Amino acid sequence: MTIRPTITRGVVLGLTALLLGGCIIHTRDFKAKFHRSEDLTAPVTNLTALHVSTNVGKIHLDAADVTEVRIVAEIEVKAPTEEKAQQLAEDTRIVVEQSSGTLTIEVDKPPDLGRNQLSVDFTITAPPALALTCKANVGEIRVAGFTQAVKARTDVGDVACTGLRGEIDLHTNVGSLRAAYAEDAPAALRATMKSNVGDVEFAGPTDLSVHLAAAANVGSIHTDRPLTVRGSLKQSLQASLGKAEGQVELYTNVGSIKIR
């Protein structure tokens, strides 16, 4: 499902878009900015997964018992003049497509728009039983309350996931990673969290049953858990919790790791 001036691909599903408004802001270096918002919705029938991507901007996803996916996109463009900023912002499209049970949300920018001129922040509310894939080049990712697998990647930005119950795969080049599982999450869970520069924090359910591998090249490891440890708590460790049925891998090149 795609919203464009003309529909070019995909099966069209019910989708509504509302332009909420725009305003012009001047920065101190006299370059102009134009901001506009879009509200969109998409049906959840036969939906099992949600993929969201933005080059520069935030991705916030909240789980709720809703009958449609609700999307708010905040679009901001910088340009040398007010007129050019407004034109580029209005020519930027939020593309929403559904195929084989997956809803994909991405940004279609004008060809003459430079990489760092555009930022798009997404705030999305969706049913909790969706598997998530989130990608941002520069910007934070926040996920709350989803029960299925979560994959999140950003080059520069923090990633924070709460209320987790499924498998996670979280990566950032520069930024912190935080994952907190719900108390009723499965004991034998699978989690991978890797940051090049930034802290990593993992909080599992009380009855955790995993093999744990953690390493901080320049930093330290702290834990509140009673562990059967092979290795040193200073920079790397191999440990077992419970029956070690699942797998948790935590890594940072520069930063600290906390296990709760």
Q: State the average pLDDT over residues 237-255.
A: 93
The total number of residues shown for the chain amounts to 260
Q: Pairing state of beta strands 200-203 and 257-259?
A: parallel
| Per-residue pLDDT at 5 exceeds 70 | no
| Per-residue pLDDT at 93 exceeds 70 | yes
Q: State the average pLDDT over residues 233-240.
A: 79
pLDDT at position 113: 79
One-letter-per-residue 3-state SS of 175-229:
CCEEEEECCCCCCCCEEEEEEEECCEEEECCCCCCEEEEEEEEECCEEECCCCEE
Q: Pairing state of beta strands 190-197 and 168-174?
A: parallel
| Per-residue pLDDT at 135 exceeds 90 | yes
- 77 Cβ neighbours under 8 A, 6+ residues apart: 33, 34, 35, 85, 86, 88, 89, 92, 113, 117, 118
Instruction: State the residue for tokens 């879009």.
Output: 38
Please give the mean pLDDT across all residues of the chain. Answer: 87
pLDDT at position 31: 76
pLDDT at position 166: 97
| Per-residue pLDDT at 124 exceeds 70 | yes
Q: What three-state secondary structure class fits 101?
A: coil
pLDDT at position 230: 64
Residues 185 and 248: their CA atoms lie apart, in Å, by 14
Read off the pLDDT band of 29 (50, 70, 90): very low
pLDDT at position 23: 47
pLDDT at position 234: 64
Q: State the average pLDDT over residues 173-192.
A: 97
- What DSSP character marks residue 43? E
| Per-residue pLDDT at 20 exceeds 70 | no
Check residues 144 and 82 and name the one with the higher pLDDT. Answer: 144
- 103 Cβ neighbours under 8 A, 6+ residues apart: 1, 42, 47, 49, 50, 51, 69, 96, 97
Name which of 85, 98, 107 is nearest 14 in CA terms: 98
User: For residue 209, which amino acid is it?
Assistant: S
Name which of 158, 145, 47, 62 is nearest 98 in CA terms: 47
Q: State the average pLDDT over residues 45-59.
A: 97
Read off the pLDDT band of 77 (50, 70, 90): very high
Do 214 and 257 touch, CB atoms closer than 8 A? yes
> Residue ranges per domain, the chain?
1-157, 165-260
pLDDT at position 106: 97
- What DSSP character marks residue 31? -
Number of Cβ within 10 Å of residue 211's Cβ equals 16
The model's pTM:
0.86
pLDDT tens digits for 42-51?
999 999 999 9
Percentage of the chain exceeding pLDDT 90: 73
Q: Distance between terminal CA atoms of the chain?
A: 42
Read off the pLDDT band of 114 (50, 70, 90): confident
13, two tokens = 């599903």
pLDDT tens digits for 203-230?
999 899 999 999 999 998 988 887 766 6
